[in-house]
Amino acid sequence: MTRTSPLLVEVTRGDLVESVHHVDACAVDPAGTVFYRAGEIDRPYYLRSAAKPFIAAAVIEAGAGDRFGFDAREIAVMAASHFGEPFHVEAVASILRKIGMDESALQCGIHMPYDEGAANALRRAGLAPTALHNNCSGKHAGILALCKVLGADPTTYLDADNPCQRRILAFCARLADEDSARWPVATDGCGIPVYATSLRKAALSFARFASLDGINDRDAAALRVVRAAMLEFPAYVAGTGQLDTELMLAGGGNLVAKAGAEGVHGVSAIAQEYGYASKVRDGSSRARGPATLSALRELGLINGSEPVELARFARPSVYNRAGDAVGEIRVV
């Protein structure tokens, strides 16, 4: 299952192809052996929010889960790009209460909930969003918990030199068999340091997230906790009806999925011990679902009878302003 060309995702309108997205993708086993490839897999990309499960695991590995008694919902939202539904907001607020802080400590910025219903509820109530509604607020709350455990300054938790960020970077580097000193590091959309690695190494991280092999016992134990939380509460990882949530629900406890900005996606297949990573070259999020589901189907991880909640991501329709289907998005 290897090809030198990327996956092609077409966007049609009527009978014509209006746009084409190119998607690089890779799947490996826990030893890093590549058995699925489409396009370029060794160019570095920033993982963006696809790294959140590993950041959450770094928080757990340091002992924050035991010290503060975080439950599975709270751990799942630490790994989330959540849509700001009320249960997401409450889970993040609960993390902050347990560590003796409040939303004023969050430095992730503020935006309206991505969930339309949650956003409309705020508008009807005449309320403004807070940092709790930011889709990265769970990750930030987890990092603040890590600061507490390490005795690091919580007011500078965004700085790459803060002990909490150095701890996170070291954890992620171990998982990917990378040298953190040589990693390109930039600033993510929510303000934290974000690292770049190849799709090959990103897929390796997700393979080890699946297998828990090839890593030390403490890291494996932390990853197991995060993985279990995401699988138990997939709605906390994205939101009602969202791709990652629906993929985990359809996977029946076997698939763990995490998307990142600019068209990044990672999936762990637990029983098969596979790790998958992909990147839409132009950063479009609309190509991510069709590309990932096509690859997972080719890998035998899903079949053609997946539920409609998942199937709608595989070949979504293009709609006009009146709500009429006028085209589709498809892998060719």
**Which two three-digit tokens encode residue 44?**
């570095």
pLDDT for 181 equals: 86
Could you read off the pLDDT of 89-143 as tens digits, one per residue? 999 999 999 999 999 999 999 999 999 999 999 999 999 999 999 999 999 999 9
CA-to-CA distance for 272 and 149, rounded, in angstroms? 35
Does residue 77 contact residue 47 with C-beta atoms inside 8 Å?
no
CATH topology of domain 2-331: Beta-lactamase (3.40.710)
pLDDT for 304 equals: 61
SS3 137: helix
Q: What is the mean pLDDT of residues 11-31?
A: 98
Q: What is the mean pLDDT of residues 239-260?
A: 96
User: Exposed, middle or buried, 248 (CB in 10 Å: 0-12/13-18/19+)?
Assistant: buried
pLDDT cut 90: percent of the chain above it: 94
Q: What is the mean pLDDT of residues 325-329?
A: 97
Residues 6+ apart with CB under 8 A from 300: none
Does residue 28 contact residue 207 with C-beta atoms inside 8 Å?
yes
Q: Name the pLDDT band for 305 (thresholds 50, 70, 90).
A: low
CA-to-CA distance for 242 and 114, rounded, in angstroms? 11
Q: What is the mean pLDDT of residues 263-285?
A: 98
Q: Comparing C-alpha atoms, which of 175, 177, 269, 200 is closest to residue 36?
A: 200
pLDDT for 203 equals: 99
pLDDT for 217 equals: 97
Note the pTM of the prediction, 2 decimals: 0.96
CA-to-CA distance for 175 and 117, rounded, in angstroms? 37
Could you read off the pLDDT of 194-224 as tens digits, one per residue? 999 999 999 999 999 999 999 999 999 999 9
Q: What is the mean pLDDT of residues 50-78?
A: 99
**Which two three-digit tokens encode residue 84?**
């700001």
Does residue 85 contact residue 240 with C-beta atoms inside 8 Å?
yes
pLDDT for 311 equals: 85
Does residue 257 contact residue 267 with C-beta atoms inside 8 Å?
yes
The angle subtended at Cα 87 by Cα 252 and Cα 258, nearest 5°, is 45
- Domain locations along the chain: 2-331
Q: What is the mean pLDDT of residues 284-292?
A: 97
- Say yes or no to pLDDT of 306 above 90: no
- The dihedral sign for the CA sequence 88, 92, 98, 102: negative
Residues 6+ apart with CB under 8 A from 53: 79, 209, 223, 226, 227, 230, 256, 258
pLDDT for 308 equals: 75
Average predicted confidence (pLDDT) for the chain? 96
pLDDT for 303 equals: 76
